[in-house]
């Protein structure tokens, strides 16, 4: 359902604590690995966003017993032999992570499956996972020679490969490593730049034989993982919206509690510091192999920066909200080497430039990023979400500092990653 919503700027700053919801990437993986593992897996602080709920539904259709109560999930599986052939196609919704990781598992299961998604997922590239999986012997076909959903997959025996990732993508890395669990011999993935390493961390916790040496990750055959409980840290990609809100709304100070601080994800903190934001990180600790802590951000006078190369995969999902941050910084901010943004939930370079230009920002489009000239005061206006959760949330955070009312065509996509977004926003506005 489309919700057309208007937002007014806040007057007195943002204050308070927010417990951001569980990490989306980690929640998906916990369901996948828990389903492949023998025994009982309990996941705490699971993200109940639509994307992760699709992952749960898929494993239920594949015969795995999964129970949910509030933010905890219990999976009972006997491993590989629990899986059954589903009678109907498996629906992925809008979830790119489910679309890219699931083929890595389905190619090895003794059954035939079809996966399909919503209209936005249906136009996102799939050849990035289909190509290496076919090299391992997988039987996959799909629209446009397997480049687009729907894909049909017939499970078969696989052989390990050494694969140099042509794209900086944790999703592709994870698909190949998952197939590697079922393949004969060893499978090695070599990355151009380090991407999020949740798959490696969690597979190790579930008993896989996985070794990481610089940018090479090697896994050996292990049909059945061993169940293990997972506590999901707060999602830094969701926290990022409120970090930026605190940095740009005058008189603000917000603490984001229990935020995942894994180095492969925390690029936004480096950028905030580099732009002169005032940040304090406290209460750092490790849970389920992942670092987390509390992040306090205070309103600051910001300056422009350059965001490029190895930093990009460490903040790829935060670029829309970083672009808003840059409109409030003195000087120029350059974002480059980020061509992957063109194939996210929407073309995010195009969407960010459209939304922020409509609100009066001074941004130039580049093939692989954008150049933002600050500091500009933002006006109100009618903006589009492009049915992309991160564009919608960026537009709403922008509305906190605009001179006039902002009207957004549709906020329903936010449920994909942050169903509690409006409650959390209300709790810090105190108006």
Q: Which residues bind ligand S3P (CB under 6 A)?
A: 25, 97, 169-171, 174, 195-196, 316-317, 340
- Least distance to ligand S3P, CB of residue 352, Å: 15
Q: Residue 42: which residues within 8 A CB-CB, separation 6 or more? A: 72, 73, 74, 75, 229, 230
Residue 215 has a CB neighbour count (10 Å cut-off) of: 14
Smaller CB separation from ligand S3P, 224 or 317: 317
Number of Cβ within 10 Å of residue 85's Cβ equals 13
**CB 126 within 8 Å of CB 88:** no
Q: How far is the CB of 101 from ligand S3P (least distance, A)?
A: 7
- Give the CA count within 13 Å in the CB-facing half-sphere of 310: 8
Nearer to ligand S3P, 38 or 389 (CB): 389
Q: Nearer to ligand S3P by C-beta: 132 or 374?
A: 132
Question: In the structure encoding, which two tokens stand for residue 139, read together?
Answer: 């039987």
**Sheet with strand 216-220: strands edge to edge:** 162-164, 186-190, 216-220, 210-213
Q: How far apart are CA 131 and CA 151, in angstroms?
A: 13
User: Do 1 and 407 meet the contact criterion of CB atoms below 8 Å apart?
Assistant: no
Residue placing its CB nearer to ligand S3P in the complex, 81 or 263: 263
- Residue 182 near residue 203 (C-beta atoms within 8 A): no
Answer yes or no: are the C-beta atoms of 100 and 127 closer than 8 Å: no
Whether the Cβ atoms of residue 217 and residue 189 lie closer than 8 Å to each other:
yes
**Helix (H) / strand (E) containing 316:** none
The b-or-e profile of 164-203 (16+ CB within 10 A means b, else e) is: ebebbbbbbbbbbbbbbbbbeeebbbebeebbbbbbbbbb
Smallest distance, ligand S3P to C-beta of residue 250, A? 31
CB-wise, 262 or 402, nearer to ligand S3P?
Answer: 262
C-alpha 270/C-alpha 322 separation (Å) is: 12
Q: How far is the CB of 316 from ligand S3P (least distance, A)?
A: 5
Q: How many CB atoms lie within 10 A of CB 378?
A: 23
State in angstroms the smallest separation of the CB of 392 from ligand S3P. 15
Q: Which is nearer to ligand S3P, 129 or 378 (CB)?
A: 129
Q: How far is the CB of 20 from ligand S3P (least distance, A)?
A: 15
Residue 23: active-site member: no
Residues 6+ apart with CB under 8 A from 213: none
Backbone φ and ψ of 77, nearest 5°: -140, 155
CB of 387 to ligand S3P, least distance (A): 15
Return the structure tokens found at 417. 């990653």
d(CA 297, CA 299): 7
Among candidate residues 317, 337, 347, 388, the one labeled active-site is 317
The residue whose Cβ lies closest to ligand S3P is: 25
Q: Residue 391 corresponds to which tokens in the numbers above?
A: 């564009």
Nearer to ligand S3P, 174 or 288 (CB): 174
CB of 70 to ligand S3P, least distance (A): 23
Nearer to ligand S3P, 97 or 113 (CB): 97
Residues labelled as active-site residues: 317
């Amino acid at each position: 359902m489309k919700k057309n919503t208007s937002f007014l700027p806040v007057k007195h700053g943002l204050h308070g604590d927010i417990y951001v919801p569980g990490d989306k990437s980690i929640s998906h993986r916990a369901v996948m690995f828990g389903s492949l593992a023998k025994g009982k897996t309990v996941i705490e602080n699971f993200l109940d966003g639509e994307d992760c709920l699709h992952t749960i539904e898929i494993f239920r259709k594949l015969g795995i017993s999964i129970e949910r109560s509030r933010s905890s999930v219990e999976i009972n599986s006997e491993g590989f032999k629990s899986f059954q052939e589903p009678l109907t196609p498996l629906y992925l919704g809008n979830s790119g992570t489910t679309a890219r990781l699931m083929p890595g598992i389905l190619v090895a299961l003794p059954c035939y499956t079809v996966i399909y998604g919503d209209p936005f997922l249906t136009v996102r590239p799939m050849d990035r996972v289909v190509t290496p999986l076919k090299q391992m012997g997988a039987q996959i076909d799909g629209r446009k020679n397997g480049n687009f959903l729907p894909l049909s997959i017939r499970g078969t025996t696989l052989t390990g490969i050494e694969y140099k990732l042509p794209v900086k993508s944790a999703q592709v890395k994870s698909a190949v490593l998952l197939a590697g669990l079922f393949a004969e011999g060893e499978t090695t993935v070599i990355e151009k730049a380090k991407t999020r390493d949740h798959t490696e961390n969690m597979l190790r916790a579930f008993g896989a034989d996985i070794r990481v040496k610089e940018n090479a990750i090697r896994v050996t055959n292990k049909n059945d993982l061993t169940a293990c409980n997972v506590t999901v840290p707060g999602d830094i990609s969701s926290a990022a919206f409120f970090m930026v809100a605190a940095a740009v709304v005058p008189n603000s100070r917000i603490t984001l509690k229990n935020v995942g601080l894994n180095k492969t994800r925390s690029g936004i903190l480096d950028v905030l510091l580099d732009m002169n934001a005032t940040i304090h990180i406290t209460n750092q600790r490790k849970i389920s192999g992942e670092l987390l802590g509390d992040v306090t951000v205070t309103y600051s006078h910001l300056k422009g920066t350059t965001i490029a190369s190895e930093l990009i995969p460490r903040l790829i999902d935060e670029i829309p909200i970083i672009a808003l941050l840059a409109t409030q910084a003195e000087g120029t901010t350059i974002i480059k080497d980020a061509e992957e943004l063109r194939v996210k939930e929407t073309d995010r370079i195009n969407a960010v430039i459209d939304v922020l230009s409509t609100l009066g920002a001074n941004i130039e489009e580049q093939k692989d990023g954008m150049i933002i000239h600050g500091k500009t005061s933002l006006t109100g206006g009618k903006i589009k979400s492009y049915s992309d959760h991160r564009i919608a949330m960026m537009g709403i955070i922008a509305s906190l500092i605009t001179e006039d009312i902002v009207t957004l065509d549709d906020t329903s996509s936010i449920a994909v990653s942050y169903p509690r977004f409006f409650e959390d926003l209300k709790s810090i506005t105190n108006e």
